[in-house]
Structures are given as C-alpha cells and as structure tokens.
Structure 1
C-alpha cells in the first residue's frame, strides 16, 4: 500500500524515518547546497517541488540570506509541517508555500533553480517527462534543476545491498523487506539513461550526474543561456 503523505503520523515521523531509508541523506543535501552556491547569483529565487516537511528549505535558508523560495507540495499536512518549521526559524517572509502541482504555477515564473528531490520516482512513467517540462518552462535562461531519485538496476543484488545499508542505518530486517516491497509496488523507476533522456526531451541543454549512492542517483540539468 502506498504511504499516505497526508497522514499526520507519517508526516510526524518523516524526518527521522527518511534518514534510515535514504543512504547518505545528509551528504546529498550538502552537495545540493554547494551546487546551488556555485551556480546561482547572490540573489536567487528557487523553486522546491515537493518540499515535504521543509528539511532542505531550512538548510538553504540558513545558508544564504538573500535567497527566496517558492515551495510546493500536494500534501496540506506536509506543507503545514514545513511552514511551522520555517516560521520557527523566523524566515517565513522568504518562502511562499503553495499546495499545488507545478503546472498550476504561473507560466511566466522565472526561477533561478528548481529542486526535485525524492519526488520523480513517485510520478507515473507517462507523466514524468511532462513534469520535467513544466519545471523547465518556469526556469530562467541558464537555470538549473537538481533531482535525486531511485534508479532502476538490472541486478537484484543492488537492491539487496540497499536493504543491508538501510539496516545499518537503523531499519529492522522486517522494515527493510517492507521497504523493498514498497519500492516494487509504489515507485515508478527509470533506468538512469532513460531518466536523463527524459530531461533532455523536456528541453534541458545538458544533463549530468552529481551524486550516486547504490540505486539512488542525482542529476543536474541546465537550461541553455
């Protein structure tokens, strides 16, 4: 059964549970932060698609005082959690929270970057390219998209290794098996080459990998200048 990201119990436990489910979670976000610092101007407007509980938002708000954000999520419960977190930091004035899909955002928005972290693997294969394209259309010239998702592997051993690593991070053996079943049942996983081609087909001029931990991989896609 797919996890209900609108359920209060799921949302309350999300920040602790995700550290066990995603190997190198902190490191991935460190990489995202330094890439944004390297690519973006001092004053930048960043789109966060599927902001969840606001983990990455909080880290980026603390990193750069001149960046502003538009954060979207389909779950009202997730948005409420994120808003509370950012308000507690005293940074609510720098973030616009919107319960919406990307295509519902203004078509003339021109973001300097977009983040799509642990989101696209929940999107059906028939809709994935359209999501990338909707983000592309709302980016300024030269802007970047940073994504991070589960990738398909031809080797069953890779998923077994993922389960073992998650157990080392705190999942029980039963939880890790449930995780593997959920990856099979609820995720729409692309081969990394197919995923990159989807980004190129959406309009991006270049696509390259910036991170990989076992089956999880991050890509940087850039719009032409």
Structure 2
C-alpha cells in the first residue's frame, strides 16, 4: 500500500523516517545547496515541487537570504506542516505556498531553478513526459532543473544491498520488508538511460548526473 501523505501520523514521522529510508539523505541536500551556490544569481526565485514538511525549504531560506521561493505540494497535510515550520523560522514573507501541482501556478511566473527531490519516481510512467515538460516550461532561459529519485533496480543483489543499508540506518527488518514491497508497487523508477532520454525530449540540452547512492541518482539539467 502506498504511503498516505494526507495522514497526520505519516507526515509527523516523515523527517525521521526518510533519513532511515534514503541512503545519504543529508549529503544529497548538501550537494544541492552547493549546486545552487554555483549556478544561481545573487537574487533568485526557486520552485520546490513536492515541498513536503519544509525541511528542504527551511535550509535554503537560511542559506540564501536574498531569494524568493514558491513551494507546492499535492498534500494539504504536508503543506500545512511546511507552513508551520517556515512560520517558526520567521520566513513566511519569502515563500508562496501553493496546494496542487505545477498546473496550479501562475502562467506568467518563471523560475531560476526548479527542484524535484524524491518526487519524480512517484509520477506514473505515462505522465512523466508531461511532468518534466511542465517543469522545463516554468524555467527562465538559463534556469536549471535538479531532480533526485529512485532509479530502476535491475538485480536482486541491488535490492539486498539497499535493504542492508536501510537497516544500518535504523529500519527494522519488518520495515525494510515493507519498503521492498512498496518499491515493486508504488514507484515508477526510470533507468539512467531513460532519464537522460526524457530530459532531452522535453528540451533540456545540458544534462549531468551529479550524484549516485546505490539505486538513487540525482541529475541537473539546463
């Protein structure tokens, strides 16, 4: 059964659970912050797709005091959690929160960067092209798209390795069994080759993988 991101219990436990579930979660976010420091202008407007509880948004607000952010999520429970977190930081005025998907954004607003972290693998295969095209169309001419997601798992050994690493991170054997079952039913992971192909097909020209941790890979596209 897919995670219910409208459940208050699931949302409240998300930040702890995701660190056990995703190898190198903190390191990935450190890399994203470094990429943004490299590619972004002094003043920038970023779109965060699937902002979740606001963790990502929070550290970016603190790291880049001259930037503006738009944060969207399809879960009202997640969005409310993010709003509460950002309000506690005193940064409400720099964030536009939107309940929904990219289609709910104003047509005349474009972004210096779009971040889709642990989101694209939830998009069904037949919808991925339109999703990625929508992100590309919301970028300014020199804007960048950063994505980090589960990619296609080919062998049983890859599954076993992921299982062992998640247990090292603190998941119980019972939790890893649930995780592996969810991988087969709730996710729509692309291969590395297919990821490059889709990003090229929607109009990105310069595409590079910036990180890989087992079966999770991150890409930056311009």
TM-score range, shorter chain: over 0.9
Rounded Cα–Cα distance in structure 2 between residues aligned with 1:96 and 1:107: 15
- CA contact 1:211–1:218 (8 Å) conserved in 2: yes
Rounded Cα–Cα distance in structure 2 between residues aligned with 1:104 and 1:124: 19
When normalised by structure 1's length, the TM-score is 0.97
Rounded Cα–Cα distance in structure 2 between residues aligned with 1:207 and 1:156: 29
Provide the alpha-carbon RMSD of the alignment.
Answer: 0.7
Rounded Cα–Cα distance in structure 2 between residues aligned with 1:134 and 1:103: 8
Rounded Cα–Cα distance in structure 1 between residues aligned with 2:210 and 2:142: 17
Rounded Cα–Cα distance in structure 2 between residues aligned with 1:92 and 1:173: 40
Rounded Cα–Cα distance in structure 2 between residues aligned with 1:154 and 1:10: 29
**Alignment-derived partner of residue 137 in structure 1:** 137
**Alignment-derived partner of residue 158 in structure 1:** 158
SS at match of 1:143: strand
| Residues 113-148 of structure 1, C-alpha deviations (whole Å, 9 max, x = no match) | 000000000000000111010011010011000000
Rounded Cα–Cα distance in structure 2 between residues aligned with 1:23 and 1:2: 20
- CA contact 1:45–1:67 (8 Å) conserved in 2: yes
**Alignment-derived partner of residue 60 in structure 1:** 60
SS at match of 1:142: strand
**Alignment-derived partner of residue 30 in structure 1:** 30
**Alignment-derived partner of residue 107 in structure 2:** 107
SS at match of 1:204: coil
Report how far residue 59 of structure 1 moved.
0.6
Rounded Cα–Cα distance in structure 1 between residues aligned with 2:139 and 2:107: 10
Report how far residue 107 of structure 1 moved.
2.4
Rounded Cα–Cα distance in structure 2 between residues aligned with 1:108 and 1:184: 39
**Alignment-derived partner of residue 43 in structure 2:** 43
SS at match of 1:115: strand
Rounded Cα–Cα distance in structure 2 between residues aligned with 1:182 and 1:167: 16
| Residues 125-173 of structure 1, C-alpha deviations (whole Å, 9 max, x = no match) | 0001110100110100110000000001322211110010000000001
**Alignment-derived partner of residue 94 in structure 1:** 94
When normalised by structure 2's length, the TM-score is 0.99
Report how far residue 100 of structure 1 moved.
1.4
- The answer as to 2:15 corresponding to 1:2 is no
Structure 1, unpaired ranges of 5+: none
**Alignment-derived partner of residue 192 in structure 1:** 192
**Alignment-derived partner of residue 219 in structure 2:** 219
| Residues 77-124 of structure 1, C-alpha deviations (whole Å, 9 max, x = no match) | 000000000000000100000001112212222100000000000000
